Amino acid sequence: MSKTVAMAGMGWLGLPLARHLKTLGYSVKGSVTSEEKANSLRKNGFHAITMIVTEGGVTGPIQLLLADTDYLVIMIPPGLRRHTGADHVLKMSYLLSEIEKSSVRNVILVSSTSVYGDGQGMVTEQEVPKPETLAGKQLLQVEQLFFTSERLNTTIVRFGGLFGGSRQPVRYLAGRKDLSNGDAPVNLIHRSDCIGILTEIIKQEAFGHIFNAVLPSHPKKREYYSDIASKLDLVPPQYSEGDSEEIFKQVDSVNLDTILDYSFKHSL
C-alpha cells in the first residue's frame, strides 16, 4: 500500500516535488491559496484543497488534507521580506494546533538559513542559531514550536537561497551599482537538490533532525554574480569595497552527509 504525502503549500517547490514523489509511487495531495490553482492541480491528477493560514486562523478544509496522511511537508512562505508586519509565529501556531488534532505524526518543516546571524560566521547544524533580523527571529520561533511539539516528530530543513527554473537571483541584481557585502559567501541551493533532500528524508523516515540545505561551494558574491551575469548576457552587478575584517555567514551541513548520506546533484 502506497504511503501518502500531504503538502501545505504546493507552489514553486511543492509542485515539482509532488510530481517527483508520484513517480516513486507515493500518493500526493496538497494545498494552495486559490480555488483557481486548486482546479488546475485537480486537472493534473492531484487531490488539492484551497487553504489559507492567517493571523486569525486556518481557513479551508485542513482536516481533509491531513486525513490518512503519513508525511506532511510544510512549505508556507512567511512573507516577511515585504515588511508587512505579519505575525508568522501566530499564523503557524494556528496551523500547528490543527495538525496536532489530526493523526499526522511525521512532519517536515521548511525553514531558512536566515535563522543564523551574519555575526556567527561559519555555521553547521551544531551551532545554536542567533538570528539578527525580525524574519530570522520569527522563523526560529516557528521551528521551536514544531520541534518541541510532543505530538509530532518534526524534521526542520533550512534552505539557503533558492534557484532553478526561471528563478535566478542575479536577475534582480543585474546592472545595480554600489551593492554591499560583495565579499560575503553565497549560500545557495538548486531546486533539484531541494527535491532530492526532501525526498530522502521521506524515504529514509529521517524525522527528528535539523538539516542545513546549502550547496557546499561558497564563492564570494561579487565573483559569483558577475560570472553568472556574463553567462546570461546581463550587466554584472557592481559591489563597493568592503571592510576586510567584516564577518559573513557561511552555512554548511554535517547532517546531510552523516544522517542522509546525501550527494548533491547540482553545482554552482
Residue pLDDT, tens place only, 182-195: 999 999 999 999 99
Residue pLDDT, tens place only, 86-133: 899 999 999 999 999 999 999 999 999 999 999 999 999 999 999 999
Query: CB of 213 within 8 A of CB of 160?
Result: yes
Query: CB of 30 within 8 A of CB of 8?
Result: yes
Q: 3.30.1360.30, 3.90.1170.50, 3.30.365.10, 3.40.50.720: which CATH number matches 4-163+190-216+248-258?
A: 3.40.50.720
CA-based end-to-end distance of the chain: 39
Mean pLDDT, all residues of the chain: 94
Mean pLDDT calculated for residue range 151-176:
94
Angle, helices 134-147 vs 88-101, to 10°: value is 10
Residue pLDDT, tens place only, 218-234: 999 999 999 999 999 99
Mean pLDDT calculated for residue range 9-20:
96
Separation of alpha carbons 214 and 212, rounded Å:
6
Per the listing, cell 503538502 goes with 7
Per the listing, cell 541584481 goes with 173
DSSP secondary-structure letter at 165? T
Per the listing, cell 493571523 goes with 55
Separation of alpha carbons 73 and 92, rounded Å:
13
Separation of alpha carbons 139 and 89, rounded Å:
7
Separation of alpha carbons 202 and 6, rounded Å:
12
Radius of gyration, CA atoms only, the chain? 19
User: Minimal CA–CA distance to 113: which of 92, 96, 130?
Assistant: 130
CA dist 95 → 54, 56, 72, 79, 103 (Å): 9, 11, 12, 16, 14
What are the cell numbers at 93?
501556531
Mean pLDDT calculated for residue range 32-48:
94
Separation of alpha carbons 176 and 22, rounded Å:
42
CA dist 256 → 4, 7, 102 (Å): 24, 22, 29
Residue pLDDT, tens place only, 226-266: 999 999 999 999 999 877 788 999 999 999 999 999 999 99
Residue pLDDT, tens place only, 72-85: 999 998 876 655 56
In b/e form, how buried is each residue of 122-161, taking b as 16+ CB within 10 angstroms? ebebeeebebeeebbbbbbebbebbbeeeebebbbbbbbb
Domain boundaries, given as residue ranges, for the chain: 4-163+190-216+248-258
Strands 161-163 and 188-190: parallel
* Alpha-carbon dihedral 100, 2, 19, 70, rounded to 10 degrees: 10
Q: Taking the model in full, what pTM does it have? A: 0.95
Q: Please give the pLDDT value at position 83.
A: 57
DSSP secondary-structure letter at 172? H
